[in-house]
Structure 1
Amino acid sequence: MRTPPGRVLRATALAMVSDYMSLNAAGCAFYATLALFPAMTMLISIYGMAFDPVTVEPQLAYLRQIMPSAAYQLLSDRVHELVSNHSGTLTISLAVSLMIAFWSAASGTKSLIWALNFAYRRKETRSVFQFQALAMVMTFGAILAAVLGIGVLVGLPTAFSALGLSRYTAQLAHLSGIAGLFAFVLGMLSLFYKIGPAPHPDGVGPVLPGALAAAILWLLISVLFSFYVSNIASYSAAYGALGAAVGVMMWFWVSAYAVLFGAELNAQIDRVRKPHRHHGNSVRGPVADELFAPENLTVADETLAVESDASAGGRARPHA
């Protein structure tokens, strides 16, 4: 017998509250805002070494639909400035600037990794060097994937024309861009959920359900948030010149919340499937633990727990 999906979703929603994920998302948004411009500097610099950096700007149109207008304009202006001043050569000063930008951009990734440990109830066991190295590798991987993704989008019109689809090039390129953005987010989230949390002897568990839910939720709330800011509430009216920066930070907050919701969903699914994973080097959440406490489990949950214990070698499930 299977645990009802509604029970897992309820546990996820309660865990988002008990694990203070709103506060964690706010911390992620702060560091992501600080890391945004350094990451953009790295993106344009690396992209410009292999492609024409001018081709980056048209690809920003895909972000217009999911970002607040003021935030999008701030991002677009910065990209235009970077593209206009790009030299195309790797000088010593540029290399130093890239290293500083890389270190700053990794701070956003580190904040997300810490938040993932809360979601998965893990104690961080990696050394400072390992933790920093993981954050840098993940940051560089995301930037490199973005570079390759932009390169593919730039080459799509030519590919469609070569296939005899020039009549539909604009429509196909637009749809491909949206699909590519979704695939990029889904892939990055899956990888992030897989290698981000602190190591556990039994591994991480399922990552695709949470990644898929987070990607869909992120696109949905980004579009709704953009519509809200553009048509109902303007941050520029309340914050003046800081309105664009506040809009960016709020967008990062709702984005981080979606990412952490996916992590909590994966953790709760894994918690029901294999309860023994969540003992030992885990940090347990009070509300979710109460919901899945032995006295509150249904017959289906108890049956699933017994099956999980049997598959794990007959280990009895410890009680809190």
Structure 2
Amino acid sequence: MTTRQHDEGEAPDWRDLATSVRRRGVRQIARDVLSAFDDNRILTYASAVSFQLVFALIPFVLAGVAVLGFLDLAEVWREELGPRLQERVSDAVFQVVDRSVESVLGSQRGFWLTLGAALALWELSGAVRATMGALNDIYDIEDDRSFLRRMGVSFALALVLALLLGLAVLALQLLPRLDFTGLAILAVPVAWLVAVLLMILAIAVIMRFAPAAPQSMGWLGFGTLLVVLGWAIASTGFAAYAARIASYSTIYGSLGVVIMLLTYIYISVLVLLGGAQVDQLVRRYAGDGR
């Protein structure tokens, strides 16, 4: 694989991009996208990253619950999340989940704040390494970093992503509780705005630093915007299913929710890699003007 040259500070040339798009036409652009997806094994990479994320999900959630206990925010589960879940699942299922959460909030909190968090970070770093490989293929970069350097970068990125995601969740839970001096009506929109900005930052960090060659800041906004829009659509669809369609009271309904969750994770990863691939094609179009 050859190494492409990346101009770190190069700004997008939108006129060249518009000219190139007009000359190619919709059909050629569609063929370019499909060819790039096939050549760079986007679907295969999406499956690999999703697999790693599924393994990271449970320890990551339990570590997050332990953080709630450490911050003396156990009422978030007992007064908000727990009652919502209880309305949707059978009593037997809720009792199992509630006992597990209460155990993590109490006696097992130390484990999930230390070794459990390390396990979550290890699993998440595996997903990051798979993403690094995918982005290197997408941007046609030869990764000559040593094994130790790749491991170090993946752990650092996993830690940053975990912190940003954790802050986004805390923003959604804490900001609506604050007294905005008569502006309480703005609390929820502000909380969501902060959470979305943190997620945008997380995506930008991945797209810039996961590839072996850091990507130009001039283009990151475009690629990140594509990913955020696609992720927002996927999240809205999953939330609508979980809130209005899913049945949690039967084993078949619960299995359907699990399948939808796995599908949502896969689509989210596909949106990330697909957005990066479209971003790479747009850079190419803007660069040649043909």
User: Scaled by the length of structure 1, what TM-score is found?
Assistant: 0.66
CA distance in 1, matches of 2:177, 2:251: 45
CA distance in 2, matches of 1:218, 1:244: 19
Aligned pairs, how many? 261
- Residues 1:42 and 2:56 are matched in the alignment: no
Q: What are the Cα deviations for residues 227-272 of structure 1, in whole angstroms up to 9, with x where unaligned? A: 5688789899997764443222211111011101111122122223
Q: Secondary structure at the match of 1:115?
A: helix
Q: Give, in angstroms, the shift of residue 33 of structure 1.
A: 0.8
Match of 2:152 among 133, 136, 143: 133
CA distance in 2, matches of 1:139, 1:126: 18
CA distance in 1, matches of 2:238, 2:177: 34
Map residues 5-84 of structure 1 onto 2, 5 A cutoff: 5=21, 10=30, 11-55=32-76, 81-84=100-103
Code of the residue aligned with 2:205 in structure 1: it is: L
For 1:207, the equivalent position in structure 2 comes to 220
RMSD across aligned positions (CA): 3.9
Code of the residue aligned with 1:86 in structure 2: it is: L
Q: Gapped runs of 5+ residues in structure 1?
A: 276-300, 303-320
Match of 2:210 among 173, 196, 201: 196
Code of the residue aligned with 1:197 in structure 2: it is: P
Q: Give, in angstroms, the shift of residue 186 of structure 1.
A: 1.3
Match of 1:252 among 265, 277, 282: 265
CA distance in 1, matches of 2:45, 2:278: 16
- Higher deviation after alignment, 190-199 or 174-183: 174-183
Residues 208 and 79 of structure 1: CA distance in aligned 2, closer, same or farther (over 3 Å): farther
CA distance in 1, matches of 2:257, 2:246: 13
For 2:119, the equivalent position in structure 1 comes to 100
Residues 33 and 92 of structure 1: CA distance in aligned 2, closer, same or farther (over 3 Å): closer
CA distance in 1, matches of 2:242, 2:249: 10
Residues 47 and 232 of structure 1: CA distance in aligned 2, closer, same or farther (over 3 Å): closer
For 1:267, the equivalent position in structure 2 comes to 280
Residues 57 and 221 of structure 1: CA distance in aligned 2, closer, same or farther (over 3 Å): farther
- Residues 1:86 and 2:105 are matched in the alignment: yes
User: Scaled by the length of structure 2, what TM-score is found?
Assistant: 0.72
CA distance in 1, matches of 2:177, 2:258: 36
Is the Cα contact below 8 Å between 2:47 and 2:266 reproduced in 1? Answer: yes
Is the Cα contact below 8 Å between 1:29 and 1:253 reproduced in 2? Answer: yes
CA distance in 2, matches of 1:274, 1:20: 24
CA distance in 2, matches of 1:93, 1:28: 24
Code of the residue aligned with 1:185 in structure 2: it is: M
For 1:124, the equivalent position in structure 2 comes to 143
Residues 215 and 88 of structure 1: CA distance in aligned 2, closer, same or farther (over 3 Å): farther
- Residues 1:149 and 2:168 are matched in the alignment: yes
Is the Cα contact below 8 Å between 2:247 and 2:253 reproduced in 1? Answer: no
Match of 1:218 among 210, 226, 231: 231
CA distance in 1, matches of 2:102, 2:118: 19
Code of the residue aligned with 1:98 in structure 2: it is: A
Residues 271 and 210 of structure 1: CA distance in aligned 2, closer, same or farther (over 3 Å): same
Q: Secondary structure at the match of 1:85?
A: helix
Q: Give, in angstroms, the shift of residue 197 of structure 1.
A: 0.7
CA distance in 2, matches of 1:233, 1:155: 28
